[in-house]
Homo-oligomer: A and B are copies of this chain.
Amino acid sequence: MQNFTTMDKTALKEEYSKLSAVYADYKAQGLSLNMARGKPGAAQLSISNDMLNVLTDEADFVTPDCPDVRNYGNLDGIDCAKQLFADILGVDKKNVFVGGNSSLNMMFDTIACMMEQGNSGEKPWNQQGKIKFLCPAPGYDRHFGVTQYFGIESVVVPMTENGPDMDIVEQLVSSDPTIKGIWCVPKYSNPQGITYSDETVRRFAALKPAAKDFRIMWDNAYIIHDINGTPDTLLNIFDEVKKTGNEDMVLEFCSTSKITFPGAGVAAMAASENNLALVKKRYNFQTIGYDKLNMLRHVMYFKNLDGVLAHMQKHRAVLEPRFNSVLETLENELGGLGIACWTKPNGGYFVSLDVMEGCAKRVVALCKEAGVILTGAGATYPYGNDPKDSNIRLAPTYPPVEELKKAMAILCICVKMAAIEQLTK
């Protein structure tokens, strides 16, 4: 098919009426398809079912650091769980805090801690007047939501194919002491699936912030979540900050939500001893400890990092054909039309689609009318405001494959229709 941007209006209008007819047929089917959230699909959930029944022997409840994991205690988790996360993250287990079922909740608690206690000898953030956080965008709406909940202003930093635009990050962070941190998904970023380059990681580790209490929120949510045979590699930021003496600048998070069960997994953070001492001050008032039986369940099921990595291959087997299907449909239906581009990630949970400027909201609305729910246009930007109104996050993991195919077909029609509406204005 010809590039839309070089077609004349008559030809475009003809094409539009053909598309409208197909669109009307889909609409008449009264479909209800959902490509909105990054939720694992049913087949992925069943992969981990056997984990639910590994706790059978009383003897297992006694660990070297805990007289009985069924009882109270061990605020920062049991040792064997710390070791498993240390191996996943490539850090020492003394730098690991194993928490509850949600890394989002740990990040929220960490920001709350900085708000109320402060760090690095500075006043608590909530006593410093107006403060700001850098938000690489497109990015993860729930990250931006956490800092916004606490009244922290979001400052957009553009993403490049190597991660956040580091020229801008360095300039802002080194000059503005009201900038207190940055949200990062360094591997298979949400939604673009971009992995930060070695240079980007090194430049992060070498930042010289104007604010002594500046913190990098390093959400390594997709650290081992490859979806094909050419996985990305990410430099270990804790190795790098050791070289630059910036150990206190980075707080890393991860969870097993997309390894075992979303909502019934285990979350962990890695941080310097100073930072762990700081957050433990708060956790010590907040709780007696997290669910150690669920930690033990994970450790007994996986045994070690190799067990986790073998498990991730089972997820890949489910996800790879889905992502391939999405990418093929995009290529077949939109390739060469000059009206859209998209990412081809090697891991993570999303494909990021950029439609013509000013068309994203219209595409999402057209899809909705035809029974296809997408993540809201703008959701990948702070305050839901995509300045170009062009980014749409596609989540291929949740719907059954046949629904996914149908949803993608409808999406591509809507992308074309919205583009022609724009071009024939």
Contact = CB atoms under 8 A, between A and B. Distances in A.
Nearest to A107: B286
A401 interface: no
A269 to B, nearest CB: 15
B286 A104 contact: yes
When A and B form their complex, which 6 residue pairs have the shortest distance between CB atoms, in order from nearest? A264-B293, A149-B285, A105-B287, A72-B262, A45-B70, A108-B286
A358 interface: no
A203 interface: no
Interface string A282-321: 1001111111111000000000000000000000000000
Given A285-B146, A293-B264, A294-B291, A46 B73 contact: no
A102 interface: yes
Interface of A: 37, 39-40, 42, 45-46, 49, 52-53, 55-56, 58, 61, 68, 70-73, 100-102, 104-105, 108, 112, 116, 126, 142, 145-146, 148-150, 257, 261-264, 282, 285-294
Contact of A263 (B42, B58, B72): B72
Nearest to A282: B149
Contacts of A287: 102, 104-105, 108
A57 to B, nearest CB: 10
Given A39-B72, A285-B108, A55 B53 contact: yes
A226 to B, nearest CB: 21
Contacts of A126: 126
Contact of A264 (B37, B112, B292): B292
7 contacts: A45-B68, A52-B53, A70-B261, A72-B262, A105-B286, A108-B286, A291-B291
B294 A52 contact: no
A42 B71 CA distance: 9
A309 B100 CA distance: 28
Given A40-B71, A105-B286, 8 more contacts: A52-B56, A53-B55, A70-B263, A71-B263, A102-B289, A108-B286, A146-B285, A264-B293
B68 A294 contact: no
Contacts of A53: 52-53, 55-56
A72 B103 CA distance: 13
A263 B285 contact: no
Contacts of A291: 100-101, 263-264, 291, 294
Contacts of A100: 100-101, 291
Contacts of A104: 286-288
Nearest to A67: B42
A292 B286 CA distance: 21
A304 B293 CA distance: 23
A186 to B, nearest CB: 21
Contacts of A292: 263-264
Nearest to A105: B287
A264 to B, nearest CB: 4
Nearest to A261: B70
Nearest to A72: B262
A398 B108 CA distance: 34
A127 to B, nearest CB: 10
Contacts of A40: 71
A242 to B, nearest CB: 32
Contact of A261 (B42, B49, B290, B293): B293
Nearest to A61: B45
Contacts of A262: 70-72, 288
Contacts of A282: 149
A219 to B, nearest CB: 14
B58 A46 contact: yes
A116 B293 contact: no
Contacts of A148: 285
Nearest to A102: B287
Nearest to A148: B285
Which interface residue of A72, A126, A142 has the most chain B CB atoms within 10 A?
A72
Contact of A290 (B37, B73, B101, B288): B101
